[in-house]
Amino acid sequence: MKIGILGAGNVGVALGAALSKVGHTVRYGMRTPSKRPEDGLTFADAVGFAELVVVALPYGAVEEVLAPLELEGALLIDATNPLGWNEGVPVLAPPKEGSAGEQIAALTGARVVKGFNTFGAEHCAGGTIEGRPIDVHLASDDGEALEVVSDLCDELGLRPIPVGPLYRARATEQLAILWIQLAIVEGRGRKLVFSLVEEN
């Protein structure tokens, strides 16, 4: 699949490398594409190239970057977290539509799947912690888009956990804020993951 990742930072590059490794073709949308001459494009060219778009930008850049792009009907993963800080404590910076995922859907008309936002970027490459796979919480209103992204998670060796409609991004974005508090602020470490365990 041709995948255009908007943002070549921690998440963009970790996810892009993992997706390339399992055979997908990845290009990065960037404000300075010359920083990655081999695979960097403008944001518009990355969207034009892509069958699947991933938003891996700081929340504060989302509106400015996405508003001019042609994303109506596009398959899109939103990995952003609307992060703010209050006296050293991470807090949700209230997004316009209840969650960044819903805001991006309203802004672009894309088929948004919220995901890859509730664990540290380094886990994009899969693996296990204490024998458990890493859960990718996925929220979407689009069943077909959810299926495509769930299949990608399987390919990456991650465990897709559908959590319901896109409005549940409100919950997973809060979960990410909690992750930042526990993993970073309280120093429990970036390997920390939220793992769903069900009784059989």
Ligand X SMILES: NC(=O)c1ccc[n+]([C@@H]2O[C@H](COP(=O)([O-])OP(=O)(O)OC[C@H]3O[C@@H](n4cnc5c(N)ncnc54)[C@H](OP(=O)(O)O)[C@@H]3O)[C@@H](O)[C@H]2O)c1
**Counting contacts by CB under 6 A, is residue 112 touching ligand X?**
no
Task: Collect all residues with Cβ–Cβ distance below 8 Å to 188 and sequence separation of at least 6.
Answer: 182
Helices (H) and strands (E) in the chain, counts: 6, 12
Site map (CB under 6 A) of ligand X, residues 50-89, x = contact: ------xxxx-x--xx-------------xxx-x------
Which of 9/109 has CB closer to ligand X? 9
**Counting contacts by CB under 6 A, is residue 150 touching ligand X?**
no
Tell me the DSSP string of 124-136: GG--EETTEEPEE
Query: What letter would DSSP give residue 79?
Result: -
Question: In the complex, what is the shortest distance from the CB of residue 199 to ligand X, in angstroms, rounded to a whole number?
Answer: 29
- Please, is 94 exposed, middle or buried when counting C-beta atoms within 10 Å of its C-beta (0-12, 13-18, 19+)? exposed
**Counting contacts by CB under 6 A, is residue 101 touching ligand X?**
no
Site map (CB under 6 A) of ligand X, residues 11-50, x = contact: xx-----------------xxx------------------
Which of 6/144 has CB closer to ligand X? 6
Per the structure block, which two tokens stand in for 23? 């055979």
**Counting contacts by CB under 6 A, is residue 7 touching ligand X?**
yes
Which of 51/64 has CB closer to ligand X? 64
Region for residue 75 given its phi and psi (left: phi exceeds 0; alpha: psi -120 to 50; beta: otherwise): beta
Alpha-carbon span 145 to 176, nearest angstrom: 22
Name the site residues for ligand X (rule: CB under 6 A).
7-12, 30-32, 56-59, 61, 64-65, 79-81, 83, 117, 120-121
